[in-house]
Chain A
Amino acid sequence: MSTISDNQDNQQAVTGAENGVAQSDVYAIARHYRFQWEEAQQCYVLLFPEGMIKLNGSAGEVIKRVNGRASVADIIQEVSQAFPDVPEIAADVLSMLNLAVDKAWLEKRN
């Protein structure tokens, strides 16, 4: 038996966030994903039917703050405070959020 074939990666890349995320946007983890710390892997993961995305340390730090309440500006501020020594962290957070929206891991709540 075989399982699901994937086929729409192209479409997803094309139709993600057209103009990128805005500072006032509020996002939540998309409904069919589950975000959690995975002890065995020692990293944050995003789970979805028949699959898993392992997030690296910095991606995990961004995504764990996406909660359906905090705005993009809030998240940038929080991460900047948590890692004051990292230069240009705001741009990194923004590009991480753009990637996550492009991949449809997040959905907009406002």
Chain B
Amino acid sequence: MLLAEVTYRCPLHCAFCYNPTDYDKHTQNELSTEQWINVLRDARKLGALQLGISGGEPLLRDDIEEIVEEAGRLGYYTNLITSGVGLTEKRITAFKAGGLDHIQLSMHDITEEINNFITNTRTFELKKKVAAMIKDHGYPMVLNVVIHRYNIKHVKEILEMAEALGADFVELANTQYYGWSLVNRNQLMPTKEQIDEAEVITNEFRQRVGNKMKVYFVVPDYFSERPKKCMNGWGEVFMIVTANGDVLPCHSARVLPNMVFPNVKANGLGWVWQESPAFNKYRGDDWMKEPCRSCDEKHKDLGGCRCQAFLLSGDAEAADPVCTKSPHRHLIDEAIANAQKPYLQAQPILFRNDKNSRKLIEGENRELVADFHALP
């Protein structure tokens, strides 16, 4: 599975974005069309079959048509992951002709107010139009809705909106805390009760609509007792090529310390996948410390997420703090408790935009990221 994060530029400024807070470093040195086409060819030779085209907002590049067409020729199953901003009749017609298989559209809320607030833009009406356009062109309509405190009370209405739009698949993705969403964690995290209620509502909705619409409910790991098998195993399935050509085993791997990530400008993908120190670092379980090393469940989750372990505990080889066997589980419980404190909730949200990214790079607002071992 190859994920191409073709640009970090984005017209939306979502507070829950998992992109790196220092993404502004990587907006002026994006790979060229030709470099992307070479990436697709190399990865296909290695056996990649799935291509996700993501960002930022991929449609801010004007060569997505060419990338899609090459992916079609190479036999990829290609999925465009978009906010819908920049999707026009002309472009979607070209994508269809070029062999794009699937479009995943992000939606934010049933209410214009919350959509526009959380994305820090005015995009609500546009998203509804784009949803209809996707359907008209014979694509299944696949909506991804990131769930957080501001929209969790509207899950029923969100599902009803999706039904009215003719959605075939809806993913209710509870916010995971990386990048911008980690900085805004106190403002975004719902309570356990709200999540349980949202799940009950989702199940009732599933019963009612049956097979017509498939709903995924992604349980947030903070509220679980065991971590998720991050990326289905480090260097097992996923390869992420970012806007500037860095190759990562996981979207947020650049936060990890003492790691040098390969770059497609200098390294062939075959070497990257098989030989590079970065892709081998957390492959398998040799790297594990206690309590993971002797844990009889270690093969189920491989110790969870390395980035989350580092961001919260400062140790990339620690057990994911989500695990109740982790000596750092208290960090998760504190985060859950903190998110209910009115004075922390009242802190301003740091929206994902170029200005805020530059400020973080230049060392302003350090207190927001220092706790998370995430200084740029």
Contacts and interface: CB of A to CB of B under 8 A. Distances in A.
Nearest to B229: A2
A54 to B, nearest CB: 11
A49 B142 contact: yes
Contacts of B138: 31
A36 B18 CA distance: 33
A99 to B, nearest CB: 15
B29 interface: no
Contacts of B305: 1-2
Nearest to B301: A2
Contacts of B169: 32
Contact of A52 (B50, B211, B216, B229): B50
B49 A1 contact: no
Nearest to B214: A8
A1 B252 contact: yes
A7 B211 contact: no
Contacts of A47: 49-50, 77, 101
Contact of A5 (B47, B79, B219): B219
Contacts of B229: 2
Interface in A3-25: 3-8, 11-12, 15-16
Contact of A4 (B18, B50, B171): B171
B178 interface: yes
Contacts of A52: 49-50, 77
B77 A34 contact: yes
The secondary structure that dominates the A interface is loop
Contacts of B101: 32, 34, 47
Contacts of A30: 140
For chain B, which range describes its interface: under 10, 10 to 19, 20 to 34, or 35 or more residues?
Answer: 35 or more
Nearest to B138: A31
A1 B211 contact: no
B75 A36 contact: yes
Nearest to B18: A1
B218 A5 contact: yes
Nearest to B77: A47
Residue of B47, B206, B214 with most chain A CB atoms under a 10 A cut-off: B214
A4 B219 CA distance: 10
Contact of A11 (B1, B50, B206): B206
Contacts, number: 83
B210 interface: yes
A61 B5 CA distance: 37
A12 B232 CA distance: 23
B79 A49 contact: yes
B216 A7 contact: yes
A8 B206 contact: yes
Interface string B130-149: 00000000111010000000
Nearest to B218: A5
Contacts of A31: 138-140
B168 interface: yes
Given A11-B210, A45-B49, A50-B1, A2 B215 contact: no
A40 interface: yes
Contact of A8 (B216, B221, B252): B216
B139 to A, nearest CB: 7
Contact of A2 (B139, B210, B230): B230
B151 interface: no
B104 A2 contact: no
Contacts of B75: 36, 38
Residue of A3, A7, A36 with most chain B CB atoms under a 10 A cut-off: A3
Given A8-B216, A11-B206, A1 B79 contact: no
A16 B79 CA distance: 26
A62 B295 CA distance: 45
A60 to B, nearest CB: 16
B142 A32 contact: yes
B230 A1 contact: yes
Interface in B262-307: 305, 307
Contact of A32 (B168, B206, B230): B168
Q: Which 8 A-B pairs have the closest CB atoms?
A: A47-B77, A2-B228, A15-B211, A32-B140, A1-B251, A31-B140, A34-B77, A49-B79
Interface of A: 1-8, 11-12, 15-16, 30-32, 34, 36, 38, 40, 45, 47-52, 104
6 contacts: A1-B178, A1-B250, A2-B176, A2-B218, A4-B218, A32-B139
